[in-house]
Amino acid sequence: MRKEALHLLIAAIILLGLGLIDCPDTVKAEDSTYFSQTGHTVSGKFLNYWRSNGGLAAFGYPITDAQDEPDSENSQVYLTQWFERNSFQLHPENAGTKYEVELGLLGKRLTQNRPENDPAFQPASSKSGFFFFPQTHHNVSSLFYTFWQNNGSLDRLGFPIDEEQRETDPATGQVFQLQWFERARLEFHPENQPPYHLELGLLGNEIKKSSPSQILQLFYKSISNQTYPQAYNYWDNPTQNLPPYSQWAQGYADTAAVTLTTGDYRIDVGAGNAYAPVPVVLVATHLHTGKQTFYGCYITHKVNIQADQTWFISRASIKEDLSGASVSTLLLSAANICANI
């Protein structure tokens, strides 16, 4: 070995020992990436899964750090991390297989009331020109089926759980053609050029950022957009707390739009549940009878011990205002109603 090369080798060994240079064969125990967009870090197996299965387009940014959480599907506790479009669960019992990281069943979670009363969620017969899934008795159009095949199919999206229909997108308030799957919601956005005309819904955001005031806004936006099955199921146990769906929907047949203003509220927690009385003022515009103003209180509810649950509407006490009072004045009256419920 030449003297110059020997000196360089000795110098490199010394610098490596001092930690001043990196050995290219050294592998970090746990790879991590910090996402400044949301202020959260993704590490290890979750990061590997995120990178290998679609990354930002499929899952969005992380919106929590990883922590142990119960899954209300089976009451088991898993290391879980939430992303804008889904959640990751670590299943050590499946170590060494592709199922070591699994996605949450967020589509089922967000539509838990609907198999009972939404016609689109009832088992269907096969239709010509569609792909029929006998496992859940639902049809998928060729457009959605191609996306399903090319974007993880059963592992990442699950089986379809309804027939394609129009709904209000909670993220934008716009009405889109969409279909629910066990782990996802597939949306058709004709305003976007391919391949961005098909998107996965922001289900992680809809669960983790759910709030008492937001669920009321979503309810009345769905009423304004006439996506009534969606609105009906923002209620807690709607078949018990509301009239039958067809009768209830008919009550809004003359409603063109509703503007909602909410006041301050407090969340009370106890016995595994959370409740929040929300003061509201509603201005309803009707197709044939002009405008009406209402005020009162909505009681909203969430199963607080289940991290994958949203808020729902539980009950309401609403009055019509005939005085012409301002919204701020009516909110004070609404707050008094909440205080006495």
Is the link from the previous residue into 24 a cis peptide, with omega within 30 of 0?
no
pLDDT, residue 306, reads: 84
pLDDT, residue 30, reads: 63
CA-to-CA distance for 295 and 153, rounded, in angstroms?
47
User: Does residue 326 sit in the same domain as residue 284?
Assistant: yes
Say what the pTM is.
0.87
Under-50 pLDDT residues of the chain: 1-29
Q: Does a structural domain hold residue 9?
A: no
pLDDT, residue 304, reads: 87
User: Does residue 64 sit in the same domain as residue 139?
Assistant: no
pLDDT, residue 23, reads: 34
> Nearest Cα to 157, choosing from 173, 177, 174, 133?
133
- Residue 188: what residue type? F
User: Does residue 118 sit in the same domain as residue 135?
Assistant: yes
pLDDT tens, residue by residue, 24-41 = 333 344 699 999 999 999
Q: What's the whole-number average pLDDT of the chain?
A: 91
CA-to-CA distance for 161 and 246, rounded, in angstroms?
21
pLDDT tens, residue by residue, 220-235 = 999 999 999 999 999 9
**Domain span including residue 141:** 108-207
Q: Does a structural domain hold residue 145?
A: yes
pLDDT, residue 7, reads: 44
Phi and psi at 148, nearest 5°, equal -55, -45
pLDDT, residue 245, reads: 94
- The domain tally of the chain equals 3
